[in-house]
């Protein structure tokens, strides 16, 4: 019998999510919880239910943090799903300092623009599907936002 494994990390949120700076505060509201989707994931032969934020909220959390691993995730999310129409309005309602998004966006665009980004992305996701053309498409989307 073939056994597969995956590393899964879960964040537990209550009231708010805080990042590394005082500006990085995301409010966990009743609406956030209602928009989250309950999914089942198998862990050690058992099924566990967890809530996953909707796409807009998840992207806002990633943009708020903007760690290197988040930037690779942001590139992938924007590539596969685009930028949601309600992103700016959502950030205004959910973040204590919504201006952090614009501030981090410059950092994110600079990082993705770096010639080494493609190698970093491929090294993380072990695929060649994300290429220079895809990177440029993602950058155009982010710059348009």
Confidence (pLDDT) at 1: 66
Per the CB < 8 A criterion, the answer to whether 67 and 19 are in contact is no
- Helix runs in the chain, H state only: 30-35, 55-65, 68-81, 87-94, 99-113, 117-125, 132-144
The DSSP element (H or E) to which 49 belongs, if any, is: strand 46-52
The model's confidence at residue 64, banded by pLDDT at 50, 70 and 90, is very high
Cα 2 from Cα 142, distance rounded (Å)? 41
Q: What is the DSSP letter of 40?
A: E
Length of the chain: 145
Cα 29 from Cα 45, distance rounded (Å)? 32
The model's confidence at residue 13, banded by pLDDT at 50, 70 and 90, is low
Say which residue, 2 or 50, is predicted with more confidence. Answer: 50
Neighbours of 90 (CB within 10 A): 21
- The encoded tokens of residue 103 equal 């501030």
pLDDT at 27 exceeding the cut of 90: yes
Mean pLDDT of the chain: 90
Q: Where along the chain do its domains lie? A: 54-144
Mean pLDDT for 45-61 is 92
Give the closest residue to 86 by CA, choosing from 54, 38, 109: 54
């Amino acid at each position: 019998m073939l056994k597969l494994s995956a590393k899964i990390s879960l964040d537990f949120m209550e009231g708010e999510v805080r990042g590394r700076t005082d500006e990085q505060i995301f409010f966990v509201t009743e609406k956030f919880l209602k928009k989250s989707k309950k999914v089942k994931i198998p862990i050690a032969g058992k099924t566990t239910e967890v809530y996953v934020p909707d796409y807009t909220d998840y992207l806002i959390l990633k943009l708020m943090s903007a760690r290197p691993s988040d930037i690779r995730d942001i590139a992938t999310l924007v590539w596969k799903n685009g930028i949601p129409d309600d992103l700016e309005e959502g950030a205004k309602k959910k973040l204590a300092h919504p201006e952090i998004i614009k501030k981090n966006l410059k950092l994110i665009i600079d990082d993705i623009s770096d010639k080494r980004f493609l190698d970093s992305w491929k090294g993380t996701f072990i695929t060649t599907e994300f290429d220079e053309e895809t990177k440029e498409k993602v950058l155009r989307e982010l710059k348009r936002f």
